[in-house]
Chain A
Amino acid sequence: MATTTQAEAVKSRIAGEEVPIRLESVTHDYGKRVALDALSFTVGRAEIFGLLGPNGSGKTTLFRILSTLMVPTSGTATIEGFDVAREPNRVRQQTGIVFQARSLDPKLTVAENLKHQGHLYGLKGALLKMRIAEVLARVGLPDRAKELVETLSGGQQRRVELAKGLIHSPQVLLLDEPSTGLDPGARRDLWLYLQTLREQEGVTILVTTHLMEEAEHCDRLAILSEGRLVALGSPAELKSQIGGDVVIFETAGEEQAAQLAGLMANRFAVDAVVLGNAVRVEREQGHRFVTEVVEAFPGIVEGVSVAKPSLEDVFIDRTGHRFWNEAGAADETKKAAGGRTKKGRH
């Protein structure tokens, strides 16, 4: 097979020129349904890159393509210069993958699981032994090697998953919803591991997530909605593109919200978006605007919040709808919405 391109890829990798992850109009459809629509972006060396999107946005599809488990219907994706569709084994050698589902064998010990993984990546003997000790120390479980996986807690199992993905010292680490089922403490630990990994070993990390808090940890983000890339940049950059503050006016119902939006658009020439019972406006000096609105249209506004823009605001700004309004995410929506109300906005 194309030995020259391989040789070139290896050469440019040695020169450190190769972009770790590159997507060029990657498109995927399952029959009629388009899951990914011409995605293009690159991920830089030693970057923590987040793929943020609600369920059904195409994250999982893209993750499957990058982990070589599926071939995109068109477009190309490369990891360390190797095409995921044409040179899957080259890609696999460079990439560590942590799946969302448990990939450990619960009937085997931690060390047996890691040994097995090492064997799949061609590691053997003393080198493998050393790597097992190294990765277990890396995830903070140096003394659990002999324990059966089924006896570990969920958080510890997650750490072993990470150790498993790191066994062959990959250049690129892909993680699918890594904090699923983790309590806040374990979640924080995970992000600390990822950051030290990036700093000390220069690993490029791609994380998919549907959690805004998690996305905030990333150096850069790609926000997906219905298979399209709707925003790309660092969390701070993306948020700064929104004008000033985000003001939300709660009203009694959808009619009132629409009415209020109309009134505000006429009076203040603002771009008011109706979101259910609420009207959302981006505005400099949000607190002044609140006073003006409440004085101008007394009785309609039932509640007000003024906040610095969040990533969700970026999402609303780019798509015109809420993050969790996507179809097919019904129960996830409830959970996430619950989390959101508790957090509130001020």
Chain B
Amino acid sequence: MRLLFATLAAAGCASGPAPAPVRLQAGSLAGEAILAVVPAPDLRINARVPPAIELAAGGVVRLARGRVSMDSSYFLEPPWDVRPPGVPIRGALRVSFCRADESVCRSVMLPIDLQE
């Protein structure tokens, strides 16, 4: 998973005027297509309520795999899961996160549209 983290971290820089707190990244792991949520450098993703992709076509994909902190509060690497085959990844990504220098939880919902 460290390799995955490094690959994902190097891969996508979201364009646009304001940096997004997280981004959804498609990749592969051991030959399987996966999806992962990569946080901005100063953010931690809440592991007690893992990120979710709410598909426009219906259904929810939870990205709950990945190492977590001792108290299970935060992911220590981008949470991920296997990409469901044949399903358009279009809809909204919902993530609970905390800035490293804050003492509160925030949540964010991002529109997403990934294509093969």
Q: Decide if A and B are genuine partners.
A: no
